[in-house]
C-alpha cells in the first residue's frame, strides 16, 4: 500500500507516504507519513534503513528532500531511526526527538548532532514554516520511556507512534479502522505486552482527549477514523497491560 492522502485542503496535506512490506523491515510493516503545508514538509518516523529508498521515491512525488523542514521521531527504535543517517545527508531538516534519546542516537552512526532538537518531557509546539505548526504531545512509557506523538491541528490527525499499532500478518488489509471490535485481535496482544501500565495509558488518553481528533495514525497498521477514534480511546483507558499483569 502506497500513498494514501488522509487530509487535503488548498495548501495543506497529510499523507500516509509509504507502508513498508514485511520483507523490507524483516517483520512487521511500518508506516511513514508526510505532512505538507505549501512547499514545506515534515516527515514522521522516516523508517529503517531498508525502507529508505522507497520512502524517498514516494516523497519526491510531493516535494524534493531539501524542502523537508523537520523530521519527527516518536522514539528510538531502529524501525524509526535506522535510515536517519541517509536522510541527514539529503536534507537540512531539524530532527525532533525526546531529549532522553539524544545520547543514544550516535550509535546509529550519526556523528553530527547539531540538527537535533531534544524535546522536553512535557512536549512542545514547534513552528515548521509560516502558518505551519505541529504540536508534540508526550506519550511516555507507552512502549518507550521517551515516546512522543505529533498532532496536526489543521487536519486534526494525531500521529500516535506505537500507540494503536496493529500486528497484521500477510496479505492485504484495509487502510482504515472504522469499527474497533473486529480490529481488537490485531492490537490487544501487542498493547498488553508493550505498553508499560494502565496508569500511563490513562494519562495519555486524558492528554489527547483534550484535542479535537478526526484520525489516529499509528506507526504500524491501519488508521483509525470516525467512531473508531473514540472507541479506541475508551478501550485504551481501561486496558490492563505491562506491569499490571505481573504476578505478585
Q: Binning pLDDT at 50, 70 and 90, where does residue 247 land? A: confident
Query: In the prediction, which pLDDT does 180 show?
Result: 98
Pair 135, 191: CB distance under 8 Å: no
Chain mean pLDDT for the chain: 91
**CA 168 – CA 139 distance, rounded (Å):** 23
Q: How far, in whole angstroms, is CA 176 from its chain's centroid?
A: 15
Domains annotated for the chain, with CATH where assigned, are 2-245 (3.60.15.10)
The model scores a pTM over 0.85: yes
Q: Binning pLDDT at 50, 70 and 90, where does residue 238 land? A: very high
Pair 165, 218: CB distance under 8 Å: yes
Is 131's pLDDT higher than 80? yes
CA angle 13, 16, 20 (to 5 degrees): 155
Q: State percent of the chain over pLDDT 70.
A: 94
Q: Which helix (H) or strand (E) holds 229?
A: helix 227-238
- The per-residue pLDDT for range 58-81, each reduced to its tens digit, is 999 999 999 999 999 999 988 888
Q: How many CA atoms lie within 13 A of 67 on its CB side?
A: 15
Amino acid at each position: 500500500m502506497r500513498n494514501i492522502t488522509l487530509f487535503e485542503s488548498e495548501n495543506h496535506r497529510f499523507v500516509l507516504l509509504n507502508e513498508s512490506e514485511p520483507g523490507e523491515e524483516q517483520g512487521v510493516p511500518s508506516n511513514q507519513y508526510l505532512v505538507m503545508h505549501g512547499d514545506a514538509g515534515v516527515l514522521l518516523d522516516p523508517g529503517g534503513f531498508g525502507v529508505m529508498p522507497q520512502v524517498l521515491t514516494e516523497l519526491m512525488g510531493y516535494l524534493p528532500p531539501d524542502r523537508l523542514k523537520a523530521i519527527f521521531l516518536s522514539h528510538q527504535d531502529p524501525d524509526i531511526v535506522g535510515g536517519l543517517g541517509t536522510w541527514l545527508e539529503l536534507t537540512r531538516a531539524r530532527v525532533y526527538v525526546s531529549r532522553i534519546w539524544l545520547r543514544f542516537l550516535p550509535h546509529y552512526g550519526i556523528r553530527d548532532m547539531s540538527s537535533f532538537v531534544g524535546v522536553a518531557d512535557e512536549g512542545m509546539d514547534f513552528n515548521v514554516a509560516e502558518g505551519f505548526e505541529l504540536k508534540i504531545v508526550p506519550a511516555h512509557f507507552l512502549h518507550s520511556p521517551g515516546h512522543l506523538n505529533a498532532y496536526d491541528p489543521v487536519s486534526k490527525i494525531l500521529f500516535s507512534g506505537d500507540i494503536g499499532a496493529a500486528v497484521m500478518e500477510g496479505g492485504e488489509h484495509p487502510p482504515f479502522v472504522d469499527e474497533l471490535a473486529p480490529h481488537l485481535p490485531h492490537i490487544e496482544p501487542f498493547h498488553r505486552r508493550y505498553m508499560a501500565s494502565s496508569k500511563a495509558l490513562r494519562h495519555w488518553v486524558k492528554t489527547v482527549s483534550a484535542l479535537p481528533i478526526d484520525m489516529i495514525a499509528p506507526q504500524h497498521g491501519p488508521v483509525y477514523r470516525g467512531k473508531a477514534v473514540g472507541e479506541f480511546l475508551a478501550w485504551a483507558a481501561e486496558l490492563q497491560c505491562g506491569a499490571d499483569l505481573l504476578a505478585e
